[in-house]
Amino acid sequence: MATFDVALFGEMMVLLVAADPGPLEEVHTFHKMTAGAETNVGIALARLGAKVAWASRLGDDTMGKYLKNVMQQEAIDCSRVLMVPRERTGFMLKGKVIEGDPPIEYYRSGSAASAMTADDLDPDWLGQARHLHVTGIFPALNAGTYALTTAAMQHMRRAGGTVSFDPNLRPALWGSTELMRSRLNELAGLADWVLPGLEEGRILTGADSEEGIAAFYQGLGVQAVVVKLGARGAFGQAGNQQFRVSGYPVEKVVDTVGAGDGFAAGLISGRLEGLDWQASVRRATIIGACAVQVAGDTEGYPDRARLAELGRV
C-alpha cells in the first residue's frame, strides 16, 4: 500500500502582493502569501483529502519557516524538506491591477531550492507515492534541477506509478525558445499525462489546434493529453477517446495565477479516485474557476464540501 497519493518536488516562494493598485515602487503595503506551481498543486490536492508529500530545500530563515509551516498546516508531509542554514528562500513581488496581468518581479536566483540535484532524490521515499506531478518551472532553474526532475520521472515510471506533467512555460528561465522546447518535450515524453495550455502547446509542438497538440504528444508515447482552453474549458484525448468539457462559469476574474495548478489538482484527484477522464477534467475546470475569482495563488482552492456544492462530482 502506498503511503502517499501524490509526491512533488519544486521551489516554493514567498509571494508579496501589493495591497493597492499602482507601480510596485509606489506601493507601501504588501500581503504575504505563498507561491510555487508544484506546491500550489499540493495544497489544492490536500484540501480535497489527498495525502501529499513535498520534497524541497528552503533557507533556514524566517521566510523558509513560514513556507514550511503553511504546507504543514495544509497536512502536507514535509519530511523531505531540508532547512538549510546560510541559504535563502526565494520570494516574488506582485502588483495589484484593476484589469489585465499584474506586474511581477522575481527574487529567486541562488535560492536554496535551486541547489537541488539528482543526488537529492530518495527512491525509497518516492516509491511510497502513487503519483508524481511535475511542472516545467523547477527543471528550468538549472541543470541540477532538470536532472533531478528527469530522474524522479524515470523512477516513478519504473516503480509502476503514474506521472503528470504541466509545461508551465517560463521562457525567461530557459535562455532560448529552442532549448525550452527541446527540454520540455523531453520531459513530456517521460509522463503519462501532459497538461499544456493551448498557446503553450502551440509553442512547444508547432501544431495550431488542440487536436494537433494531442497527436504530437501521443506520438511521444503519452497516454493522455488535456489541453487547457481557459474560459472555453478543455479538450482531452486519452488513447483513442476524444472529448471536450465546457468552462465553468465565472462571474468576475480577479487573478488568473494558480488556475492551471488548481486544474491539474482537480484532474489528478479525479483520476486517482477512479473517475473517468471527462469527469476528472470537469472537476479540474471547477477548481480552476475557483482560483481565478480571488487574489493569491491558493486562496480560492475549495475543500471537499465546497467542491461538492459547485460540481456534484
Distance between CA atoms of 291 and 253, rounded to whole angstroms? 9
Please choose, from the candidates 92, 106, 120, 93, the residue with its C-alpha nearest in 3D space to the C-alpha of residue 7: 120
Q: Locate 273 and state its grid cell.
A: 479516485
Residue with cell 479525479: 270
Catalytic pick from 261, 276, 297, 303?
A: 261
303 is catalytic: no
Alpha-carbon distance of 43 to 37, in angstroms, equals 10
List the grid coordinates of 151: 530522474
SS3 33: strand
Beta partners for residue 17, in sequence order: 31, 94
What is the bridge-based pairing of β-strands 77-84 and 52-59? Answer: parallel
104-107/91-96 β-pairing: antiparallel
Task: State how beta strands 234-238 and 52-59 pair.
Answer: unpaired
* 193, three cell numbers: 499525462
CA distance 180 to 170: 9
Report how far residue 57's alpha carbon sits from residue 162's, in angstroms, rounded to the nearest whole number: 24
Other beta carbons within 10 Å of 115: 16
Query: What residues pair up with 241 in beta bridges, in sequence order?
Result: 238
Residue pair 222/190 in contact by the 8 Å Cβ criterion:
no
Q: Which amino acids are annotated catalytic?
A: 261
